[in-house]
Amino acid sequence: MTSETWKYLDDLGKLRKDNSGLKEKLSFTMQQFKQEMNSVQNKLNSTLQNLRVTKACVIKLKKSCRRAAVQKERAVKKAQEDTLKKRSVHHLMHKGVYTEETRNLIRVLVKAGCSRDSVTHVISAVLKAAGISVIGKISHCTISRVILKGYFAACIQLGYEMQQAESKLYSFLL
């Protein structure tokens, strides 16, 4: 029995020795696990913080996008209104000089048989029917001057064209 007791005591000593070795390995492994857990926890916290910042940035960008869309709509609407306002008004003069459009319109109306005294009224009535208001008036003296200047410009143009022509054929009808 004593030999068996010694044997059991020997086995018990070995088991205690093995047990203490396992305890050391277990504590070392637990320390490594705690360090890894701390590292993972730090990374998780950092990632969560980055996620919060990114979500806040996304929210700001969405708000900015919505505001930009509203501002764009307002700008387009304002530009359309300004364009309609500009189109709905016709200025007969620009910087104190009758525009070329106005002069051409005067020539066409007089050529069509409109009296010089009623050219302004005809222009106003036609543009008013089209929904365009007219700013300015034309005197019958100005109308005569525009027609005369148009005649002189046509004569000068004819002379220039005749000078540039390679051959000339004149025909006079009496």
Which tens digits make up the pLDDT trace of 110-138?
Answer: 889 888 888 888 888 888 888 788 888 88
User: Could you give the 3-state DSSP secondary structure of residue 93?
Assistant: strand
Q: Are residues 1 and 83 in the same domain?
A: yes
Residues 12 and 82 in one domain: yes
In which domain, by residue range, is 156 found?
A: 89-164
From 133, 101, 107, 139, select the one nearest 120 (Cα to Cα).
139
What the block records as the tokens of 162 is: 């005749």
- The answer to whether residue 172 sits within a structural domain is no
The partner residues of 45 in beta bridges, in order of sequence, read none
Query: Do the domain assignments include residue 119?
Result: yes
The pLDDT tens digits of the residues spanning 30-67 come to 999 999 999 999 999 999 999 999 999 999 999 999 99
pTM over 0.85: no
Whole-angstrom distance, CA of residue 27 vs CA of residue 81: 80
83 against 67, higher pLDDT: 67
Number of domains composing the chain: 2
